[in-house]
Homo-oligomer: A and B are copies of this chain.
Amino acid sequence: MTVMGTARPAGRPRSERAEKAIVDATLDLIGEGTSVSELSIEAVAARAGVGKTTIYRRWANKEELVGDALATLKAPLPVVEGRTVREDLVAYLDVMRQDTLTLRTRCIMNIAMSEPDRHPNLYERFHKTAIEPRRAAMRAVLERGVATGELRPDLDIELAIGMLSGTMLWYTKGAAHNNTPLADDLAARIVDEALRGFLSR
């Protein structure tokens, strides 16, 4: 009998250090451009300074490891509620822009873009936790704009989401190619250009 209801299993407990090292190594490798298909357990173990056994003991397969690793990258998803729709949209799009600057969130992009049907479970899981919330947030802002009359009542909201996100995605891809970072005011310029079509006037 143990004191706590959660009975600690006998024997040496699993190392938190090792677990974190494994997850970090996984994210590092993916962030460096290794695709999920190419990612090898051996490489993760070597990078993490860990025996392969320690990895196999915790994760049944590669997908679960990557899935858990990505889950640790919780999207902060800023809750902006500015005065105007324009401000909010710029804020969200600018998060998208800044994400491309950090290594960790670039991991997400790599996976999200490259292997949709190869690892469907993985993609599904990632989509639910990363894509959908952001999409919902943007949808809410647009719907609020329609409600307040700031935006056209007949605005195709899903299309609007696609236009804003897609444009930033386009620039993100272009920036990844020719190493020029995205302009600071890019989000504002996209939104402004788009709003001339979205605004009710």
Contacts of A166 in B (CB 8 A): 163, 166-171
Q: Interface with B: A31-39, A55-63, A84-92, which one?
A: A31-39
Q: Are A193 and B163 touching (Cβ within 8 A)?
A: yes
Name the residue on B nearest A168 (C-beta).
B166
Give this chain's copy count: 2
- Rounded to whole angstroms, the CA-CA distance of A99 and B193 in the bound complex is 27
Shortest CB-to-CB span from A136 to chain B, Å, is 15
A18 in contact (CB, < 8 A):
no
Interface size of A by Cβ–Cβ distance < 8 Å?
36
A20 in contact (CB, < 8 A):
no
Shortest CB-to-CB span from A170 to chain B, Å, is 3
Contact A156-B116, Cβ < 8 Å, known A37-B35, A165-B170: no
Contacts of A195 in B (CB 8 A): 197
Shortest CB-to-CB span from A125 to chain B, Å, is 13
For window 156-191 of A, CB contacts with B under 8 Å fall at: 156, 159-160, 162-163, 165-171, 173-174, 176-177, 189-190
- Rounded to whole angstroms, the CA-CA distance of A115 and B113 in the bound complex is 10
Shortest CB-to-CB span from A157 to chain B, Å, is 11
Shortest CB-to-CB span from A37 to chain B, Å, is 6
A50 in contact (CB, < 8 A):
no
Among A37, A115, A163, A168, residue most surrounded by chain B Cβ atoms (within 10 Å): A163
A94-116 CB mask vs B (1 if < 8 Å, else 0) is 00000000000000000001111
Contacts of A169 in B (CB 8 A): 166, 169-170, 173
Contact A171-B177, Cβ < 8 Å, known A193-B156, A197-B195: no
A117 in contact (CB, < 8 A):
yes
A12 in contact (CB, < 8 A):
no
A196 in contact (CB, < 8 A):
yes
Q: Are B113 and A177 touching (Cβ within 8 A)?
A: no
